[in-house]
Amino acid sequence: MYKLYCRIYQNVLRGASYFAPWRRPELVEGKKSLNKLPKLIKNKGINSVLIVTDKGITSLGLMDGLLKGLKEVNIEFTVYDKTVPNPTIDNIEEAVEIFRVKNCEGIIAFGGGSSMDCAKGVGARIARPDKSIASMKGIIKIRKNIPQLFAVPTTSGTGSEATIAAVITDNRTHEKYAINDMALIPHYAVLDPMITVGLPPHITSTTGMDALTHAVEAYIGKSNTEETKELSKNAVKLIFANIYEAYSKGENLEARENMQKASYYAGLSFTRAYVGYVHAIAHSLGGVYGIPHGLANAVILPYVLEYYGDSVYKPLAELSDLVGIADLKDTREEKTKKFIQSIKDLNKKMEIPTQISGIRESDIPLMVERAFKEANPLYPVPRILSKKDLLNIFNMIKDHVEQ
């Protein structure tokens, strides 16, 4: 009965989504395209911006050229760089205060998913000063335009530059959840591969596996469209062909550019076709332990795909064919197994562990509850899992148990 309810809920949303005002960010792309951003902002009549980023980025000086360019065209800016991985409500409130005090007119989100989501949270609060972040959890609670948002992704992973989501952590309850609204789709996305060249190998691999998880979860879900299937396929192909190169030879600009595109395509795909249990579990681990999002997804992805069983044989056999790892005479089941194995192999080659350490037995029931609530009834997963199933998965992914 519950499963039927979930499927009806998903079908209603699927139907409604055909009428939703989907839009894509305007792209500014290619090597050194970041140099074009100051003039673009100026031409929009914006004279003062808030830049949301993190300490890692400012300490590397990654924004220096951008700041110089903003000065040259007389755009005032204030940098908020206290964003933490798994950004918090406190981050957002601090940055909102600066936006107001400095009379900012636009927002530059400069960084990985954490900075981009923090910037989106700021936009949401500016659009709806009457609503708290907590009250915007879920779908379509903003319904008003946010200030012009210029997203500059510096990891190739989250695809947040293309999505309706901002994933926020409540630093009091340690709950991590998404606010989803068309209003949060950035107005511009700058895809400049030069910014990702210095991304360390471990962050390259884990954020890249996040992008793969988006593409795969969207592809196997039941709300994909012809367009999202195509986007997912493009992303999967690009990631299989480039992730190891980007990880092992970070200076390879072509590999970096391809990973950036893949992440963007995967973002476009999942924002329409949703993610699934991999993300729901990863978010619960991110909220409770602060485990980096990409790392959690990379570890969990093969377990959940195996757990889905024959419900994913068809789509995963297709992806297996797509990346050329299957034999013509293989059955769908064999192709699926090869696809899952190739994800495990990639993880291994990039020194991503097979399990997550530090999970406390006593925290598992709460995380099961949260993952179940996040995924059901919203995510159109190939097979609806019970709390018992999620518990089984937690028991598979946990490394040593700390009481």
Of 276, 294, 302, 315, the one binding ligand NAD by CB under 6 A: 294
Closer by beta carbon to ligand NAD, 85 or else 358: 85
At its nearest, how many Å lie between Fe ion and the CB of residue 359?
19
Of 69, 106, 112, 221, the one binding ligand NAD by CB under 6 A: 112
Strand boundaries in 81-122, DSSP class E: 106-111
Closer by beta carbon to ligand NAD, 165 or else 231: 165
Of 96, 189, 199, 209, the one binding ligand NAD by CB under 6 A: 199
DSSP string over 267-286: HHHHHHH---HHHHHHHHHH
Q: How far apart are CA 235 and CA 286, in angstroms?
A: 24
At its nearest, how many Å lie between ligand NAD and the CB of residue 59?
8
Q: How far apart are CA 56 and CA 76, in angstroms?
A: 22
Q: How far apart are CA 262 and CA 271, in angstroms?
A: 14
Q: How far apart are CA 23 and CA 100, in angstroms?
A: 27
CA distances from 351 to 97, 236, 243, 348 (A): 41, 20, 13, 5
Q: How far apart are CA 297 and CA 301, in angstroms?
A: 6
Q: What residues from 163 to 182 belong to the interface with ligand NAD (CB under 6 A)?
A: 163, 165-167
At its nearest, how many Å lie between Fe ion and the CB of residue 170?
18
**Which x/- pattern over 199-218 shows residues binding Fe ion (rule: CB under 5 A)?**
-----------x--------
Q: How far apart are CA 150 and CA 110, in angstroms?
A: 8
Residue with tokens 């579990």: 281
At its nearest, how many Å lie between ligand NAD and the CB of residue 171?
13
Q: How far apart are CA 67 and CA 108, in angstroms?
A: 11
Q: Is 86 in the site for ligand NAD (CB under 6 A)?
A: yes
Of 81, 105, 117, 374, the one binding ligand NAD by CB under 6 A: 117
Of 10, 49, 54, 301, the one binding ligand NAD by CB under 6 A: 54
Q: Is 85 in the site for ligand NAD (CB under 6 A)?
A: yes
At its nearest, how many Å lie between ligand NAD and the CB of residue 114?
3
Q: Is 196 in the site for ligand NAD (CB under 6 A)?
A: yes
Q: Is 91 in the site for ligand NAD (CB under 6 A)?
A: no
At its nearest, how many Å lie between ligand NAD and the CB of residue 258?
16
At its nearest, how many Å lie between ligand NAD and the CB of residue 200?
6
Q: Is 161 in the site for Fe ion (CB under 5 A)?
A: no
Tokens of 205: 């691999």
At residue 286's C-alpha, the angle toward residues 86 and 369, to 5°, is 130
CA 15, distance to chain mean position in Å, is 24
Which entry of ligand NAD, Fe ion, none binds 154, CB below 5 to 8 A by partner kind? Answer: ligand NAD
Which entry of ligand NAD, Fe ion, none binds 196, CB below 5 to 8 A by partner kind? Answer: ligand NAD
Q: What residues from 206 to 235 belong to the interface with ligand NAD (CB under 6 A)?
A: 207, 210
Contact call for residues 372 and 390 (beta carbons, < 8 A): yes
Q: Phi and psi at residue 164, in whole multiples of 5°? A: -90, 0
106-111/48-52 β-pairing: parallel
Q: Which residues bind Fe ion (CB under 5 A)?
A: 210
